[in-house]
Amino acid sequence: MPVHVYWGEDDFLLSKAVEALRAQHLDREWGLLNYIQIAPADKDNIANALMEIVTAPLGEGGKIVHLPQSSLLGACPPEVIEELEKTLPNIPENNILLMTSAKKPDERNKSVKLILQSAQLKTFPLIPQWESTKIVSQVKSFASSLGVKLTNDAVAALVEAVGNNSRQAWNELEKLKLYAVGAPLDVEMVKQLVVNTSSSSLELAAACRMGDPTLALKQLDRLLALNEPPLRIVATLATCFRTWLSAKACIEAGWKDDAVIALFVELKNPKRLFFIKQEIRAVSLTKFRNAMAILLELEVLLKSGGNADILATYVINLCTV
C-alpha cells in the first residue's frame, strides 16, 4: 500500500519499524535522497509532503515521505481534506507516505477516515509494567533476533532489570551478546552486567507514596546517574499514581466487587488489586489527587524545555503533599 500509518507509545519499536521499511523499500545507493522527513514544525509540512509524494523517486528504488507526529492524523481543515482526496489515489507505486504518531489516530476525523481507507496500519503499544508474561516474550524475541542465548532465570533477571523499556532491553542484549561470544548466559552474568533501572523507578514511586523524601531523592539520583530520561521517570510515576488514585477512589466510593474495581482501574491481572489495596491503605485520596496535579505540571515543564534539575523539587513535593 502507498500509505503507512505507525502509531504507539513504544518509540523504540516504532523507530525499528521505520528503519525496516526504509531498508526494504529504498535503494542502498539512492536511499538518502529518496527518504524525505518533514518536521511538524514546518508550517507548510502537509503541502510539501503531498507535493513530494506524487513526485517520482530519484534514480533507483522507491521513495518514502515521512511525517512524524503528523497533524494529518488529527482534525484537518476542509482544504487539506480536499488535497488529500486528490493526492492519495495518485501516489506512484514506488512511493510511500509514512505517518507516525505516539497517539492513536482519531477516526472521528474525516482526514483520518480517508487516510485509513488506503493505509497499512501498525501499532506499537508500550507493554504495561505488570504484564510480565508479555515482557518476557518480547525479551525472548529480541534475544532470538540478536542470537543471544539466555537461560529462563537470566531472562527473568533481565526483565526485572529493564521492565517494559524495550530500547534498554535491546541495548542490554547487544551488550550481553558481545560478552557471551555465542555461549549461553546465566542469571549471575545478567545481574553482573545489567543495571536495574526498572525497579528503581518503581521504588521511587513507592518512596513518594510513603512520604519518604530521603529515599525518594536517593532513587532519583540513581536513575539520573544511569541517564534515565526524565520524561520516562515521570511516565512511570504517573502510571503508578494514576493506578493508586483510581483504586482509592473506588474504595472510598464504597465499591465492594474487586472484579469491577480491577476493570475500572484497567488492571490486566485482577489479582494485582490485592497488593494495590495494601499499598494505598494508609494514604489519603487527597494525596493521590494532588500528586497527579504535581506530575501533570512537571510533565508540562519538561516538555516545555525544563531540565532534570527541577525533578528533585517535584519529587519532594510528591512526598510531602
Average pLDDT, the chain: 87
Return d(Cα 285, Cα 74) in angstroms, integer.
35
* Residue 84: per-residue pLDDT: 85
- For the chain, the distance separating the N- and C-terminal CA atoms, rounded to the nearest angstrom, is 52
* 130 close to 94: Cβ distance less than 8 angstroms: no
**Burial per residue of 67-100, b for 16 or more beta-carbon CB atoms within 10 angstroms, e otherwise:** bbbbebbeebeeebbeebeeebeebeebbbbbbb
Percent of the chain with pLDDT over 90: 35
Q: Which tens digits make up the pLDDT trace of 177-216?
A: 888 777 788 888 888 888 766 667 888 999 999 999 999 9
Return d(Cα 11, Cα 168) in angstroms, integer.
12
Return d(Cα 156, Cα 137) in angstroms, integer.
11
Q: Which tens digits make up the pLDDT trace of 46-67?
A: 888 888 898 888 888 899 999 9
* 181 close to 147: Cβ distance less than 8 angstroms: no
Q: Which tens digits make up the pLDDT trace of 129-157?
A: 767 788 899 999 999 999 888 888 889 88
Return d(Cα 86, Cα 211) in angstroms, integer.
59
Q: Which tens digits make up the pLDDT trace of 264-284?
A: 988 877 888 888 999 999 899
Q: Which domains does the chain have, with CATH numbers?
A: 3-123 (3.40.50.300), 132-193 (1.10.8.60), 198-320 (1.20.272.10)
| 227-242 average pLDDT score | 88
pLDDT of 40 strictly over 80: no
pLDDT of 69 strictly over 90: no
Strands (E), 40-104: 63-68, 95-101
